Structure 1
Amino acid sequence: MDVPYSHMAKAISRLQHLGVVEARRGRSGGLVLTELGRRASVGWLVRELEGETEVVACEGDPPCPLRAACRLRGALRGAQEAFFAALDPVVVADLVASPAGPVLLGLAVRRPG
């Protein structure tokens, strides 16, 4: 997987903080998916990792002058809710048990240097 080591380290740290994975040090160390991690929905994970902020920052600084009459904002909010709703029934254990599971589990991260 072509992801910088520092990015993956941050993601793993967040997953540990959420209780989704456990890191084990040493010769036979690595990451272990916890029971919570196996039961977690992909929708929940995406919300926790990415947040639920709006797709477009209408209330930014300065706020968008169209926000009071904009119909796009509601459509984008609906699309975002539909995105999460589609991911909510997908559970991590199902992904790992699928034919793609061994590939997912075998992905390596390039080390710095």
Structure 2
Amino acid sequence: MRLLRSTDLALRVLMRLAVADGTTTPTTRDVAAAMEVPYTHAAKVVAELQHLGLLAARRGRGGGLTLTEAGRTASVGAVVRSFEGNGDVVDCDGAAPCPLSSGCRLRGALRRAQEAFYASLDPLTVEDMVAAPTGALLLGITMR
């Protein structure tokens, strides 16, 4: 299984904001530059994180991004599910339906594997992900 770029970016943004000292609040442009992604991509991810209540974004002078308490304690599994969706790993019923769909055992096995993946991430929080030594490394990612 491979995570979408937006999921990866969302997790990295949450982790970086979790170790912020609070003296500066990075902007979406700062996030895009620090993570070396297009601004439009970062803006979509930040908007979704804000919609989920995981970060707060203030506009204008003195504005920027801050992690909410919900963002700090968010389940990594829940964040990944929000960005990845709950769809199947493979599309058996797509434009060209699989001829094995009526008796295939692979689809169920892949669904169980996907759920096991999420279940392993569910108990982990964003705070867990920034424990030593990761927190110090994240501080090296300059945002503003």
TM-score by shorter chain over 0.5: yes
Q: Give the percent of matched residue pairs that are identical in Structure 1 and Structure 2.
A: 61
In the alignment, the residues of structure 2 paired with residue 87 and residue 62 of structure 1 have an alpha-carbon distance, to the nearest angstrom, of 33
Structure 1 unaligned blocks of 5 or more: none
Contact 1:96 1:105 in 2 (8 A): no
Among 108, 118, 128, the residue aligned to 1:74: 108
> Distance between the aligned counterparts of 1:59 and 1:23, measured in 2?
40
Scaled by the length of structure 2, the TM-score of the pair is 0.67
The answer for the alignment partner of 1:15 in structure 2 is: 49
Shift of 1:97: 3.6
Q: Offset at 1:107?
A: 3.5
What does residue 71 of structure 2 align with? 37
Aligned residue for 1:4? Answer: 38
Q: Which runs of 4+ in 1 moved over 6 A?
A: none
List runs of 5+ in structure 2 lacking aligned partners.
1-34
Counting matched residue pairs gives 109
Once the two structures are superposed, residues 4-56 of structure 1 have per-residue CA deviations (whole angstroms, 9 ceiling, x without a partner) of 22111101100000000001234543211101111110000011111010000
What amino acid sits opposite 2:85 in the alignment? G
Q: 1:3 to 1:87 in 2, by over 3 A?
A: same
Using the size of structure 1 for normalisation, the TM-score is 0.84
RMSD (Å) for aligned C-alpha atoms: 2.0
The aligned counterpart of 2:6 is: none
Measure how far apart 1:102 and its partner are. Answer: 4.0
Shift in CA distance, 23/48, structure 1 to aligned 2, threshold 3 Å: same
Q: Secondary structure at the match of 1:22?
A: strand
Letter in structure 2 aligned against 1:70: C
Q: Partners of 1:24 and 1:87 in 2: how far apart?
A: 30
